[in-house]
Amino acid sequence: MFEHIHAAPADPILGLNDAYRNEPNPNKINLGVGVYKDEQGVTPILQAVKQAEERLLNQEETKSYLSIEGSPAYREAVQKLLFGEDHQIISKKLAQTAHTPGGTGALRVAAEFIKKHLPEATIWVSNPTWANHQSVFQSVGLEVGSYAYYDANTKALDFEALLASLSQIPEGDVVLFHACCHNPTGIDPTPEQWYQLAKLCSKQGFLPLFDCAYQGFGHGIEEDVQGIRTFLDYVPEMLVANSFSKNFGLYNERVGALTIVCETSEQAEATFTQVQRCIRTNYSNPPSHGAAIVAEILNDKQLRSLWEMELKSMRTRIHEMRSLFVNTLRVKGVTQDFSFISQQQGMFSFSGLTPDQVAQLRNNYGIYIVGSGRISVAGITHENMNPLCDAIAAILK
């Protein structure tokens, strides 16, 4: 029965991790997958998470199933973080949230929901976008289109082209936006540009789906969801897929959520029952531990301020590495202008390195970055800065 089945190609990002593990070069550097590393090159467990886990271990009384949509404490905490405590979306009960296994789980549930209930819709993603977006949506049979976003010449957002692209998208389609820290470019719209995008969305009548995987890694917890909140002033319906993998460092606990916003609370309740159906026939109900940690932290004053401090220190370290990277390349004699890297937000930088240069870094120096030239700045440390910049300087000569 299985003889006709051939091996699938390696995942462009996770496959790189496997190749890195097998790399014999003792000085190898992994800047592929988007995982935060501290100055010691370690992906730490946050103190806030450790303390929350201690409490949970003492308090936990059962391992019985959660409901399809997850625990109420978690679902409320997610909405407050995304929309702000006092937002009318919350007081008027216009949003419903389901706890999902990671941000990917949220996107997959959203994809199934869209396919089932908006079967004619095409989903539009930015060019470029996170490599898994297209695959997740195509796996349920959705048509995926792409809209203009990045200008490779200026290494910046091509806002005119973005507006022109979105103006072609018809009513009833779905448009995916990265809420912040755009993956892979690190380039986000400004507050004024979000406002223009929201107005355009309202005029065109497409449904926005926000992917929010890096809240707090860009400018700050509140600042990073300004795009979502601006849209809420202009459009009555929205989907938000968010992840706590990065901002709580809970990568392997698989914590995320899908939130659906509707025009009335009755509509939100009815629509949400269809989201619940998608979940029931997929993984039935979510895993408890990671979401319990997030809820414990967000709903406790002391743990929350500790988390905010730790998140700020991750954000600050990445910003520092960006500036140091640009300066070190200059010191090493690289004449090509890399200053755009210090303006980008979040874990990634679209370096502008070509596939050939990426291959040279890997083959000659054991430095792993994604073929598109995306560098995970969150993996750069003071220690690997010099060998990294030496190698880049050598291949650019």
Which residues in this chain contact ligand PMP in the complex, by CB under 6 A? 34, 102-104, 130, 178, 183, 211, 213, 243, 245, 256
- Please compute, for residue 3, the number of CA atoms within 13 A of its CA located in the half-sphere on the CB side: 1
| Annotated catalytic residue, options 155, 158, 246, 307 | 246
**Residue 116 among the catalytic residues:** no
| Annotated catalytic residue, options 158, 173, 188, 211 | 211
Strands 207-212 and 174-178: parallel
Minimum Å distance from CB 359 to ligand PMP? 23
Minimum Å distance from CB 314 to ligand PMP? 15
Nearest alpha carbon to residue 112 among 290, 250, 312, 283:
283
Asked if the bond preceding 184 is cis, omega within 30° of 0, the reply is: yes
Minimum Å distance from CB 287 to ligand PMP? 13
Minimum Å distance from CB 42 to ligand PMP? 19
**Residue 188 among the catalytic residues:** no
**Residue 307 among the catalytic residues:** no
C-beta of 102 vs 379, nearer to ligand PMP? 102
Cβ 125 vs Cβ 155: under 8 Å: no
C-beta of 240 vs 329, nearer to ligand PMP? 240
Q: Residue 107, Cβ neighbours under 10 Å: how many?
A: 25
DSSP string, 162-180: HHHHHTTPPTT-EEEEESS
| Sequence-ordered list of residues with C-beta below 8 angstroms from that of 387, at least 6 positions apart, any chain | 27, 29, 365
Minimum Å distance from CB 183 to ligand PMP? 4
Q: Cα separation of 172 and 198, whole Å? A: 15
Q: Cα separation of 351 and 376, whole Å? A: 10
C-beta of 104 vs 360, nearer to ligand PMP? 104
C-beta of 130 vs 307, nearer to ligand PMP? 130
C-beta of 188 vs 393, nearer to ligand PMP? 188
Q: What is the torsion angle, in degrees rounded to the nearest 10, for the CA atoms of residue 134, residue 137, residue 139 and residue 141? A: -120
- Please compute, for residue 314, the number of CA atoms within 13 A of its CA located in the half-sphere on the CB side: 30
| Annotated catalytic residue, options 130, 158, 188, 307 | 130
C-beta of 189 vs 262, nearer to ligand PMP? 189
Helices (H) and strands (E) in the chain, counts: 14, 13
Minimum Å distance from CB 110 to ligand PMP? 11
Q: Cα separation of 224 and 84, whole Å? A: 12
Residues classed as catalytic: 130, 211, 246
